[in-house]
């Protein structure tokens, strides 16, 4: 079999499709690079790894740029990954896949899912990878993802949560931490994950004749629930869980409707304490450390 001619014809046909069928460019790309990847794998098995370099030089000479050794290896890897997962999302472009093809299985699947879920651009996907988002996921969340278990609205919140420190504060109070978040609330909501929207800060709730104030009240559109966020610039303490639980119960009783799910709570603190959360009586509460960047 003449692998080179087969590969060349696949790529030429794809270029034709890209010109006359603009609406299906992405599907044509993915189908073509899948087929080319299969041919490259078979050619490599027969002629050795050096065939990649040989084909790259010939394709570049005959068809122009875009067929570097790296790109051909990406096509071969795309075929291997496709074989492993049977079907890959057509919602991701070839450029998206090139960013994640060489990740291990679980990390690859995670970025496929969040790119689909959030309709991420290439730039946004790169930013998430650069921030080590997957590595910052709690271990129990990774386990749920691996087993395709149902996720709670706060499962995908990374640890630590990165907060922009525009004024380079070193020692900060809770008020300053809140101000830093509010200065770029859009980035903070994206950091938390999908579907979070901002309602208010210092949200007043009344117990008898006394007012208390929720640091941040959010809403998650996807999960249809309110989210109470409390900010602590100390290590996590057991009284913090009692405080946020009281606020969550208030929201459930006086604000949420019957169609909405129960409120969840996020304690953002200087230092987590796994034992406080472990023995907390309400699994809707999570704690995350913050990191100023």
Q: What is the CATH classification number for the domain harbouring 166?
A: 3.40.1350.10
- Across the chain, mean pLDDT equals 90
- Final residue of a structural domain among 95, 130, 165: 130
pLDDT score, position 104: 93
The answer for 218, left when phi > 0, alpha when psi is -120 to 50, beta otherwise, is beta
Asked if residue 281 has pLDDT above 80, the reply is: no
**Rounded-to-integer distance, Cα 101 and Cα 91, Å:** 15
Average pLDDT over residues 201-208: 94
The verdict on residue 142 lying in a domain is no
Please, which pLDDT band fits residue 224 given cuts at 50, 70 and 90?
Answer: very high
Co-location of 94 and 200 in the same domain: no
Asked if residue 109 has pLDDT above 60, the reply is: yes
pLDDT score, position 208: 86
Co-location of 155 and 246 in the same domain: yes
Q: Does 293 or 24 have the greater pLDDT score?
A: 293
pLDDT score, position 16: 72
The verdict on residue 157 lying in a domain is yes
pLDDT score, position 20: 58
Co-location of 206 and 126 in the same domain: no
The verdict on residue 243 lying in a domain is yes
Co-location of 115 and 187 in the same domain: no
pLDDT score, position 178: 96
Asked if residue 236 has pLDDT above 60, the reply is: yes
pLDDT score, position 118: 83
**Rounded-to-integer distance, Cα 37 and Cα 212, Å:** 61
Co-location of 71 and 15 in the same domain: yes
Please, which pLDDT band fits residue 91 given cuts at 50, 70 and 90?
Answer: confident
Range of 82's domain? 3-130
Co-location of 101 and 209 in the same domain: no
pLDDT score, position 132: 94
Please, which pLDDT band fits residue 21 given cuts at 50, 70 and 90?
Answer: low
The verdict on residue 179 lying in a domain is yes
The verdict on residue 13 lying in a domain is yes
How many domains is the chain built from?
Answer: 2
Task: Find the length of the chain.
Answer: 293
């Amino acid at each position: 079999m003449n692998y080179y001619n087969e590969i060349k014809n696949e790529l030429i046909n794809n270029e034709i499709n890209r010109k006359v069928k603009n609406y299906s460019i992405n599907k044509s790309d993915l189908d073509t690079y899948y087929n080319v990847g299969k041919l490259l794998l078979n050619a490599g098995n027969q002629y050795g790894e050096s065939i990649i370099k040989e084909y790259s030089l010939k394709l570049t000479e005959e068809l122009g740029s875009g067929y570097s050794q790296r790109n051909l290896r990406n096509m071969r890897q795309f075929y291997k990954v496709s074989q492993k997962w049977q079907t890959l999302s057509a919602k991701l472009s070839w450029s998206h896949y090139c960013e994640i093809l060489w990740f291990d299985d679980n990390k690859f699947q995670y970025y496929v899912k969040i790119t689909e879920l959030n309709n991420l651009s290439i730039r946004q996907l790169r930013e998430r990878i650069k921030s080590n988002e997957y590595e910052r996921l709690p271990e129990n969340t990774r386990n749920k993802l691996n087993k395709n278990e149902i996720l709670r609205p706060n499962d995908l919140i990374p640890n630590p949560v990165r907060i922009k420190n525009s004024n380079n504060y070193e020692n900060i109070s809770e008020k300053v931490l809140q101000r830093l978040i509010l200065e770029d609330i859009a980035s903070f909501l994206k950091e938390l994950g999908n579907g979070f929207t901002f309602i208010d800060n210092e949200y007043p709730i009344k117990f008898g004749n006394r007012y208390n104030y929720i640091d941040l009240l959010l809403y998650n559109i996807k999960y249809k629930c309110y989210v109470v966020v409390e900010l602590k610039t100390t290590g996590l303490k057991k009284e913090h869980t009692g405080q946020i639980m009281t606020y969550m119960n208030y929201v459930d009783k006086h604000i949420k409707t019957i169609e909405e799910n129960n409120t969840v709570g996020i304690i953002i603190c200087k230092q987590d304490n796994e034992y406080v959360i472990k023995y907390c009586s309400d699994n809707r509460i999570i704690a995350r450390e913050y990191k100023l960047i």
